[in-house]
C-alpha cells in the first residue's frame, strides 16, 4: 500500500486513500466528472482552476498521457480523485503514466476511496470546499481547514489562467482528431480571410484549432482586453472562451463584451456564454453540483434535435432574466437549465457546452459553422 492521503469536506466527512502524483496539501471546491475517457483533456482544462476533480468512472489512467492531447500550457486544477489508478498504461500514443504526469506538474492525486459515496454526497448536499492532503492526516485538523477555506463563489479565477499578452494561433487539429471528426461541418478553408479575435479567459486549445481548421486567422488576447483594443485588431468576429469560476466578479470582461455588442459577430462557449448573458442584462445563478461530463443531453429548440454534449460548468444563465431581443436556443434535458442563448439583433450567440471537445462527443461541431455564417 502506498503513502496515505486524506480528503476532508467542509461538512465533516473524511475519506482516506492512497496518494499518487505530487505530495502536499491543497484546498478547493470538490466536484465530479462523469466522463469515461478524456481525463487528460479534463486535467489540462483551465476551467477547473480552484477545483478538486473526482472521476466517477472507476478506472482512470489506462491509456496514459501524451503531449499531443494537452489543452493548455499547464494543469490548473487543485487535486485529482479516482477510485483506482492504472499504473501500467497501454496505448501506442502513451508517453508516460498519469502518476508521473501529476507528479511532474505538482498536482496531488488520491485513489482508493469510495468515489460513489463521495459523489452521492455532492449530489445531495452540493459541491463543497474540501482539503486534500498527504502531509496532515489528522481528521479534525483537516475538517477545520476545509471549513475555514474560501469558497469558489465571488473569486476572480480567470486572472490566474489567462495569457499575459496577445499571440497568433496557427496550429490546426491533430491529424487523428481530424480523421475521427470527419466530416467536419466547416473545413477546407471555408473561413479563409476571416480574422477571429479570441478572448482567452482560460481557453482550451482545441477551440483555436477548430477555428484555424476552418481557415480563419486567429489572434488570442487576454481576458482583460478592452473593446477598443479588440476593435483595433479589425476582427471579422470575436470569440469568448471558456474559463474557471464565477463570472459575476469579472466586471472588466462584462464591460468589454457590452461595448462589442452590435459591432462584431460574437460566439461564446461556457464561461463565454455566461459573460455574454451578463452583458446582455441577464442574471447568473450557481448550480447545486454543476454539469461535468461527456454525456449531457441538450435540446436544440430550433431544430428539435438532441445533442449529446461535453460540459464543465457550475454556473448557468437564468433564462427568465434575459431581456427582450435575447432568446434561449438550447436547454439541458436533465434539469431544463439554459444551454444556449442568442441575440439576433447583435449577431451574438453562445452555448454552455463544449462543441470543440477532442475526447467527444462531436454532435455540436456545426456551431463553428454558425459562427462563420455570422461573419460572412
Q: Strand 167-169's sheet: what is its strand order?
A: 167-169, 217-222, 195-200, 237-240, 266-269, 348-351, 338-343, 326-332, 284-300, 306-317
Residue 154 DSSP one-character state? T
Q: How far is CA 153 from CA 123, 159, 315, 354, in A?
A: 18, 15, 10, 22
H or E element, residue 227:
helix 227-231
Query: Which of the 8 DSSP states describes residue 256?
Result: H
**354 is a catalytic site residue:** yes
Give the cell for residue 179: 480523421
365 has catalytic annotation:
no
Rounded to 5°, angle at Cα 200 from 195 and 205: 80
Retrieve residue 58's grid coordinates: 472507476
Residue whose C-alpha is closest to residue 357's, from 209, 192, 172: 209
Query: Using a CB cutoff of 8 Å and minimum separation of 24, what contacts does 90-94 make?
Result: 90/62, 90/63, 90/64, 91/62, 91/63, 91/64, 93/63, 93/64, 93/66, 93/68, 94/63, 94/64, 94/65, 94/66
Which among 210, 270, 343, 362 is annotated as catalytic? 270
Q: Active site residue: 291, 330, 354, 365, which one?
A: 354
Question: Do the Cβ atoms of 199 and 239 come closer than 8 Å?
Answer: yes
Among 29, 41, 339, 356, the active-site one is 356
Which residues are catalytically annotated? Answer: 270, 354, 356
Amino acid at each position: 500500500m502506498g503513502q496515505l492521503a486524506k480528503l476532508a469536506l467542509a461538512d465533516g466527512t473524511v475519506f482516506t486513500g492512497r496518494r499518487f502524483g505530487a505530495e502536499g496539501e491543497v484546498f478547493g471546491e470538490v466536484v465530479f466528472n462523469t466522463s469515461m475517457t478524456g481525463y487528460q483533456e479534463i486535467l489540462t482544462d483551465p476551467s477547473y482552476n480552484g477545483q478538486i476533480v473526482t472521476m466517477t468512472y472507476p478506472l482512470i489512467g489506462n491509456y496514459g498521457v501524451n503531449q499531443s492531447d494537452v489543452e493548455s500550457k499547464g494543469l490548473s486544477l487543485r487535486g485529482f480523485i479516482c477510485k483506482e489508478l492504472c499504473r501500467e498504461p497501454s496505448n501506442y500514443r502513451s508517453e508516460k503514466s498519469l502518476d508521473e504526469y501529476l507528479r511532474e506538474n505538482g498536482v496531488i492525486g488520491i485513489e482508493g476511496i469510495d468515489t460513489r459515496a463521495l459523489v452521492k454526497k455532492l449530489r445531495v448536499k452540493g459541491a463543497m470546499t474540501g482539503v486534500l492532503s498527504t502531509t496532515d492526516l489528522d481528521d479534525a485538523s483537516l475538517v477545520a481547514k476545509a471549513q475555514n477555506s474560501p469558497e469558489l463563489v465571488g473569486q476572480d479565477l480567470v486572472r490566474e489562467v489567462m495569457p499575459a499578452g496577445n499571440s497568433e494561433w496557427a496550429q490546426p487539429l491533430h491529424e487523428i482528431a481530424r480523421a475521427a471528426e470527419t466530416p467536419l461541418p466547416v473545413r477546407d478553408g471555408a473561413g479563409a480571410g476571416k480574422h477571429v479575435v479570441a478572448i482567452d479567459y482560460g481557453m482550451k486549445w482545441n477551440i483555436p484549432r477548430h477555428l484555424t481548421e476552418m481557415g480563419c486567422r486567429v489572434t488570442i488576447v487576454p481576458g482583460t482586453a478592452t473593446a477598443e483594443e479588440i476593435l483595433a485588431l479589425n476582427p471579422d468576429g470575436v470569440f469568448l472562451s471558456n474559463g474557471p469560476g464565477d463570472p459575476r466578479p469579472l466586471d472588466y470582461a462584462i464591460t468589454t463584451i457590452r461595448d462589442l455588442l452590435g459591432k462584431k459577430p460574437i460566439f461564446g462557449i461556457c464561461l463565454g456564454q455566461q459573460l455574454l448573458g451578463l452583458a446582455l442584462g441577464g442574471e447568473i445563478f450557481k448550480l447545486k453540483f454543476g454539469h461535468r461530463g461527456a454525456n449531457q443531453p441538450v435540446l436544440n429548440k430550433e431544430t428539435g434535435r438532441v445533442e449529446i454534449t461535453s460540459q464543465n460548468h457550475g454556473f448557468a444563465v437564468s433564462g427568465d432574466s434575459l431581456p427582450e431581443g435575447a432568446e434561449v436556443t438550447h436547454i439541458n434535458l436533465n434539469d431544463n437549465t439554459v444551454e444556449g442563448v442568442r441575440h439576433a439583433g447583435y449577431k451574438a450567440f453562445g452555448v454552455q457546452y463544449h462543441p470543440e471537445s477532442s475526447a467527444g462527443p462531436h454532435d455540436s461541431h456545426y456551431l463553428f459553422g454558425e459562427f462563420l455564417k455570422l461573419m460572412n
